[in-house]
Amino acid sequence: MSADFELIERDGMGRICTLRTPHGPVETPTVLPVINPNRKLITAHEMRKDFGAQMVITNSYIIARDPRLREIAASSGVHGLLEFDGPVMTDSGTFQSYVYGNLGIDANEIVALQRAFGSDVSTVLDIFSEPDFSREKAEEAVRITTDRASTALRLDGGRGIIACTVQGSLYPDLRERAARELSALGADYMAVGGIVPLMERGMYPELVDVVMASKKGMNPACPVHLFGAGHPLIFPIAALMGCDIFDSASYAKYAQDDRLIFPDRTVHLSELEYNPCLCPVCSDHTLKEIKSADRTERTGILARHNLHIIFSEIRLVKQAIREQRLWELAENRARSNPSLFDSYISLLTHYDFLERFEPISRKSGVSVVDGVSLSRPSIRRFSYRLDAMRAGTGRDMLLVGGTKPYFSHLDFSLKSGDEDIVARTPFGLMPITLTETYPFAQSSYSLNAVPEPRVLEYLSKFGYGSFRSVEGKWRRGGNTVPAFAYIDLIRKVCEYQFGAGLSASLLSGKIEFTHSNSTGKLRMVLRDGKQILFFRTGEGLFSLKFEGARLIHSATQPPAMRVVCSDDAADFVSSGKSLFCKFVKEADACIRPGDECIVVDGMDRLLACGRAAMNREEMLAFRKGVAVDVREHPSSA
The larger pLDDT score, comparing residue 2 to residue 89, is at 89
| Across 40-49, 93-102, 223-232, 479-488, least confident range | 93-102
Verify whether residue 595 is a known catalytic residue: no
What are the pLDDT digits (tens) for 301-354?
999 999 999 999 999 999 999 999 999 999 999 999 999 999 999 999 999 999
Check residue 465 and give its pLDDT. 74
Mean pLDDT for the chain overall = 91
| Across 194-198, 230-234, 412-416, 584-588, least confident range | 412-416
Check residue 464 and give its pLDDT. 77
Q: Please count the other Cβ atoms lying within 10 Å of the Cβ belonging to residue 415.
A: 18
pTM recorded for the entire structure: 0.94
Domains delineated in the chain? 4-355 (3.20.20.105), 358-510 (3.90.1020.10), 548-636 (2.30.130.10)
Q: Is 486 helix (H, G, I), strand (E, B) or coil?
A: helix
pLDDT beyond 90 at 34 = yes
Check residue 600 and give its pLDDT. 97
Q: Residues 364-391, buried b or exposed e (16+ Cβ, 10 A)?
A: ebbbbbeebbbbbbbbbbbeebbeebbe
The beta strand positions in 340-496, using DSSP E, are: 366-368, 397-400, 420-425, 428-431, 443-445, 467-470
pLDDT beyond 90 at 558 = no
Q: Name the pairing type of β-strands 190-192 and 224-226.
A: parallel
What are the pLDDT digits (tens) for 245-302?
999 999 999 999 999 999 999 999 999 999 999 999 999 999 999 999 999 999 999 9
Report the percent of the chain where pLDDT is more than 90.
Answer: 72
Q: Please count the other Cβ atoms lying within 10 Å of the Cβ belonging to residue 447.
A: 6
The larger pLDDT score, comparing residue 160 to residue 94, is at 160
CA dihedral sign of residues 616, 618, 624, 628: negative
Check residue 637 and give its pLDDT. 63
pLDDT beyond 60 at 574 = yes
**What is the rounded average pLDDT of the residues 89-108?**
75
**What is the rounded average pLDDT of the residues 197-213?**
95
Check residue 477 and give its pLDDT. 54
Measuring CA to CA, which residue among 616, 624, 584 is closest to residue 600? 584
Check residue 1 and give its pLDDT. 43
pLDDT band at 490 (very low <50, low <70, confident <90, very high): very high
What are the pLDDT digits (tens) for 369-388?
888 888 999 999 998 888 88
Spot the catalytic one: 11, 66, 85, 91. Answer: 91
